[in-house]
Structure 1
Amino acid sequence: MLSNMHDDPHYPRPQLRRPEWRDLSGPWRFAFDDENSWRAPGDATFDREIQVPFPPESELSGLRETGYHAVVWYARRVDLSEAERPVRGERRLVLHFGAVDYRASVWVDGHLVATHEGGHTPFSADISEAVGRADGFEVVVRAEDDPRDLAQPRGKQDWQEVPHVIWYHRTTGIWQTVWLEVVPDMFVERLKFLPDVDRGELRLTARFNRDVSADASVHVKASLRGNVLARQVVYADGREAHAVLGLRHTSGTPERHDLLWSPKRPNLIDVEIELRDASGAVIDRVESYAGLRSAEVRDGQFLLNGFPYYLRLVLAQNYWPQSHLAAPSPGHLQREVELVKELGFNGVRIHQKIEDPRFLYWCDRVGLVVWGEIANAYVFDEDAQLRLTSEWLEAVRRDFNHPCVVAWVPLNESWGVPNLERDALQRHFVKGLYHLTKSLDPTRPVIGNDGWQHVAGDILGIHDYAFTGDVLRERYGSHEQLAHTFERVQPHFRRILTDGHTRRGEAVMLTEFGGLSLRPAESERWWGYGTVGSPDELLEKYRELVAAVLESNVLMGFCYTQLTDTEQETNGLLRADRTPKVDPAKLRAVNVGFAHSVPGDVINEIHTDAQRRDADLRKNTE
């Protein structure tokens, strides 16, 4: 039987699982091609060894080469067991890459089997016809990642050789799992779930690698904690099959909250899909899961499952000093989610990075909402527009099924659109990304450009690193104060609204604030938005800022900067090694709006009228 994620946290694609797979992480042959002179596998001279999937700039790769290396090559011999060998008409072999930064070419036994552009999104190749020998094959990968190409979506990766200000060491080449999967000759290629909370339905589209024969059937079963909710048999139309699953317990209709997904009750519906031939024999079987939940903005409020929901997010770079954008292990992805939850946040904004799907799995399972964001470019030209749009569409498609994802953020702080106020073309691009995202996914809010200079979006995200709670109260305490801030205040030296945009029912959130650092030592590399002298002062200043935000009657949420120290950006609540700077229980008490933490999060004391009025709302956000 197919192992689930409880048993196999290494599985790289948690929402489409099969039992026959193999992780190709480990030692690969490696070479730098600084002259960019090699064009084919036979040209490369492999003189080093690297530990995949860690980037060559990182310690865990075994290399720690942080200089400029725009082109790198990988090679590995893969031996095949008898059960893995392709058999024409019966069994196929697929090679998967979680992410290769930035442009990749892949050869198998000298045959070019895949090319891909986009440093954060996955790609695959059916290598059945390319494998030249029954006992195994040679795979070679060329990755091109020019550090000085500012039209390339790069996020927080520095284009300078030594990291400066808020940018970090680079992540070149393979940085997520490379894996091999055995599939039948006809197989499920992709799944898409569309939840309907009002009807209690889950709509499924299954796509296959080729047209399905007319006499084949698709059998779908949905379960919740072992209780069957729905069964259905449908037939494919060409390469797709569609099912509408009415979610009910076989023993009766459960309570609504027993079906819905939320951070307080992260109910995950297990889904099994079988493709069967005319005789009833199983051709392909996959396991997946979905969440029945809705996320929307209406009349200035963010709604989860139809009810107002206050977002308490933390900004997370998800960067590790020993492995950079790559997690040191699958367990580190799980632990990152648990840390956010333990600190009293109900969500996380992954900043300038499309995170490993296993991280999103743990957010789904533990109960943590996520804002999906992409690494941005730094210049505006036709090439940058095409690159960002292509990779963004891949990201939305990859992560559509994760119930934890409740908002999309294609652009941050006008990165890649630096002349947004004065250039109509740049404004058209932002509006275009917003509307394109909405057309692909009408089920989630979209923020066209988070931070300032809003021209399109369902949420007005504001970045304001004011150092005192009084300033935050003056700017966001009431609707009148918010209107004044929109019209007269430029919190980060930029207008919040531009191109004649006025508020039209969007939810308003403080999506970056805080950024507090402990005062650095004399020679310490440092970056932050304000300093305090001790852990006690950090906690008090954090309490002051968050209390001011919670007292606002117009803000529907916040995102604190940030979860961990990251290289010289030392403004995390946790150090880079994930140890806390202050007592996590005290931070949690602040975040949930209580005077102090008590078992079970029972309300002990409410300090302000605003907190008293919103106590039930905040309980719903646990």
Structure 2
Amino acid sequence: MLIVLQVASTYAQGIDYPRHEYPRPQFERELWMNLNGKWTYKFDFNKEGLSKNYASAKGFDKEITVPFAPESKLSGVEYKDFIPAMWYHRKIKPEASWRGQDVLLNFGAVDYYCQVFINGQLVGKHWGGSTSFSMDISNFVTLGEEADLVVYVEDDTRSKLQATGKQCHDKDSRGCFYSRTTGIWQTVWMEPVYRHALNKVQIIPDLDNKQFVFRPTYRNLQAGTKLRIRVREDKRIVGEGTFAASDAGFCVIPLRFPKTWSPENPFLYEVYFDLFDADGKQIDNVFSYAGMRKVHIEGNRVFLNNELYYQRLVLDQGFYPDGGWTAPSDDELKADIQRGKLAGFNGARMHQKVFEQRYLHWAARLGYLVWGESANWGMDNSNEAAVRNFLSEWTSIVERDINEPAIVAWTPFNETWRPKNLEIQSRMQDDVYDLTKALDPTRPVVTASGGIHAEKEDVYAEHTYKQDPMELYNQLSKSERGVYIKHEESADYAGQPYMVDEFGGIRWLHNQQNEGVAKSATSWGYGTPPQTKEEFYKRLEDQVNVILSLDNIWGFCYTQLTDVEQEQNGLFSYDRESKFDLEKLNKIFSKSREEAKKEVEKMLKDNSNALGK
């Protein structure tokens, strides 16, 4: 496997900058330069910096630690009020040894709109707070010489024209809305790339035909270029081929005895892409990985690798007490997945946030199913400008993460409630479904997780926070054609797999005295809090039993993995301390459906006897 070199490798030797690991593990090049660490910055509350030529600045008065947003503690700023615009600056110096190659400047994510300048010249612009992007800065820098990099950011959280997710539109956090994220919040880096190098490669696992299908595209196609693809299993080449470089071509590598990827056996193949010019000179070398994994739907059931598979997911908001939207370390991304697995889940619904690529890397390595979601809350679904913004951002989200084996569903929208214009929203939902299936026909699309459902969706997903198990049973068991919850404006249920992808949310204050504080002015959650931990376990198990016992439900997602600020209904506290006995949780969430049915039958019998009395 290729490893990070140059500046990034110095972190272990004591260089003080965070998030030193390679940020794009699905498409990893050997030579790169990490630009995280100390930058200077200036807030621009009146948006006057462009007219004052801040773009030509040689530095600003205050320091910020990138890639942490200014609202976060780890940024060193911790400014919590609205930031309509701000400026960043740092010196960059592309290596002289990169001669003969172009220089790409890469951003993991910048929220929301940004302009990038080098030595006062505009390099490019980008819209979208959750998506990664690159800019070719070759014509703006001289190798071996310093240059001034300036990034201008605008983030109008309250405009209703952009997706903001769980970022609060009020000054202070409240309920299930949390601190905002402004500006750079993922790693920034440079890399040298030949003009005719690979642009990207889509990897399509084809389990039924025992092959991987690769679809490469190139930065600038050159006649005579050859692409060699090698697939390796346990240090042994099991598939190899050399292909003429073509933007119209597909490269097929058959496997005699393919090994599948699943949460129970998360096997990954190593994949090497080597590009050679017409003279046989190597002009690109990229490392990747791939999982031989198939997810599909038959009737109202979901299959993984052609076998029925029940999804036991947990809601993960991806907020951190010191980093906000940005994990403080790569280890913490990995640890959140390990926490979910220890609690008995086989995956997570990444909720109202597009997670860092390294989270998906660890999900693939550890065996953890993931639903890829957007941060759609905050936008006005009736506003055609907002819809236009969302369509381009969602396209980039799917294209960035399409190769990740852990992603088993796309979820563009969460809880699409009745807007000012239902027709615009319904059209948008159907258009996004068609767009997603055009980009990736290999995964189901959960067009709307809860809320108003449009005509086109592969999985019908609904939310319920009924706390009493009998009320929950009565709500979910009384159905027409297998649909339990249906909003008046929703399209009719069409027999898809039905999932309860939000439930529970049982509030429990961590380290509370006398176990079971009934109410707290600073906490938020669903239902009346249990008075004791035993009451918590009983309520949780009864709810899980009900869902597992119903044949027409084919998966669940529990709310939620961790507390987030004032929302205190996580299985772990905000600082990731376990609030409960993980063995007990694991036993509840991994329970067999047969066992759950027996316990629900007993519950119904006991309830009937109680009513009779």
Q: Is 1:61 aligned to 2:75, yes or no?
A: yes
| Shift in Å, 1:520 | 4.9
Q: Is 1:207 aligned to 2:220, yes or no?
A: no
| Shift in Å, 1:66 | 0.6
Which runs of structure 2 are paired with 1:129-528 in the superposition (5 Å)?
A: 129-132=139-142, 134-213=144-223, 215-237=224-246, 239=247, 241-248=249-256, 254=257, 259-376=259-376, 377-379=378-380, 380-414=382-416, 418-419=419-420, 423-455=422-454, 456-477=456-477, 481-483=478-480, 486=483, 495-496=486-487, 498-499=489-490, 501-518=491-508, 519-520=516-517, 524-528=521-525
Q: Is 1:33 aligned to 2:44, yes or no?
A: yes
The partner residue of 1:109 within 119, 134, 159 is 119
Distance 1:296 1:594 in 2: 22
CA change 1:498–1:295 in 2 (3 A) is farther
Letter of the aligned partner of 1:426 in structure 2?
Answer: Q
> Is 1:454–1:497's contact at 8 Å kept on the other side of the alignment?
no
| Shift in Å, 1:280 | 2.8
| Shift in Å, 1:240 | 5.5
TM-score, with length taken from structure 1: 0.88
Corresponding residue for 2:30?
A: 19
Local SS of the residue matching 1:13: coil
CA change 1:43–1:19 in 2 (3 A) is closer
The CA RMSD measured in Å over matched residues stands at 2.4
Distance 1:431 1:111 in 2: 41
CA change 1:275–1:561 in 2 (3 A) is same
Q: Is 1:70 aligned to 2:81, yes or no?
A: no
Corresponding residue for 2:3?
A: 3
> Is 1:520–1:526's contact at 8 Å kept on the other side of the alignment?
no
Which runs of structure 2 are paired with 1:560-575 in the superposition (5 Å)?
A: 560-575=558-573
Q: Which moved more, 1:298-307 or 1:169-178?
A: 298-307
Corresponding residue for 2:583?
A: 585
Distance 2:300 2:139 in 1: 55
Local SS of the residue matching 2:391: helix
> Is 1:216–1:235's contact at 8 Å kept on the other side of the alignment?
yes
CA change 1:588–1:9 in 2 (3 A) is farther
Gaps of 5+ in 1: 249-253, 596-604, 613-622
| Shift in Å, 1:611 | 10
Local SS of the residue matching 2:548: helix
> Is 1:234–1:242's contact at 8 Å kept on the other side of the alignment?
no
CA change 1:484–1:242 in 2 (3 A) is closer
Corresponding residue for 2:541?
A: 543
> Is 1:31–1:45's contact at 8 Å kept on the other side of the alignment?
no
> Is 1:105–1:142's contact at 8 Å kept on the other side of the alignment?
yes
CA change 1:279–1:326 in 2 (3 A) is same
| Shift in Å, 1:548 | 1.3
Distance 2:333 2:306 in 1: 30
Q: Which moved more, 1:272-281 or 1:509-518?
A: 272-281
CA change 1:369–1:242 in 2 (3 A) is same
Corresponding residue for 2:60?
A: 46
> Is 2:518–2:530's contact at 8 Å kept on the other side of the alignment?
no
> Is 1:298–1:505's contact at 8 Å kept on the other side of the alignment?
no
1:490-519 residue CA offsets vs partner (Å, 9 max, x unmatched): 6xxxx34645x3332300011100000125
Corresponding residue for 2:102?
A: 92
| Shift in Å, 1:606 | 4.1
> Is 2:93–2:144's contact at 8 Å kept on the other side of the alignment?
no
Distance 2:283 2:230 in 1: 16
Distance 1:586 1:526 in 2: 25
> Is 2:20–2:34's contact at 8 Å kept on the other side of the alignment?
no
Corresponding residue for 2:610?
A: none
Local SS of the residue matching 1:385: helix
Local SS of the residue matching 2:199: strand
Letter of the aligned partner of 1:503 in structure 2?
Answer: Y
| Shift in Å, 1:16 | 0.7
Letter of the aligned partner of 1:147 in structure 2?
Answer: T
Local SS of the residue matching 2:580: coil
> Is 1:9–1:331's contact at 8 Å kept on the other side of the alignment?
no
| Shift in Å, 1:557 | 0.3
Letter of the aligned partner of 1:544 in structure 2?
Answer: D
| Shift in Å, 1:242 | 2.7
Q: Which moved more, 1:429-438 or 1:516-525?
A: 516-525
> Is 2:350–2:371's contact at 8 Å kept on the other side of the alignment?
yes
Q: Is 1:529 aligned to 2:512, yes or no?
A: no
Distance 2:275 2:60 in 1: 43
| Shift in Å, 1:449 | 1.3
Local SS of the residue matching 2:386: helix
CA change 1:284–1:240 in 2 (3 A) is farther
Local SS of the residue matching 1:413: strand
Q: % of aligned pairs identical?
A: 36
Corresponding residue for 1:598?
A: none
> Is 1:38–1:44's contact at 8 Å kept on the other side of the alignment?
no
Equivalent pairs counted in the alignment come to 575
> Is 2:44–2:86's contact at 8 Å kept on the other side of the alignment?
yes
Distance 2:148 2:4 in 1: 30
Distance 1:524 1:283 in 2: 61
Distance 1:45 1:269 in 2: 45
> Is 1:564–1:571's contact at 8 Å kept on the other side of the alignment?
yes
CA change 1:4–1:44 in 2 (3 A) is closer
1:221-279 residue CA offsets vs partner (Å, 9 max, x unmatched): 11122222211011022x4653101013xxxxx3x5xx111111111111111111234
1:127-182 residue CA offsets vs partner (Å, 9 max, x unmatched): 11100463222111001001321221101001111112211110000000001112
Distance 2:59 2:520 in 1: 42
Local SS of the residue matching 1:482: coil
> Is 2:4–2:32's contact at 8 Å kept on the other side of the alignment?
no
Local SS of the residue matching 2:191: strand
> Is 1:114–1:124's contact at 8 Å kept on the other side of the alignment?
no
| Shift in Å, 1:574 | 0.6
CA change 1:162–1:504 in 2 (3 A) is same
Gaps of 5+ in 2: 10-18, 509-515, 602-613
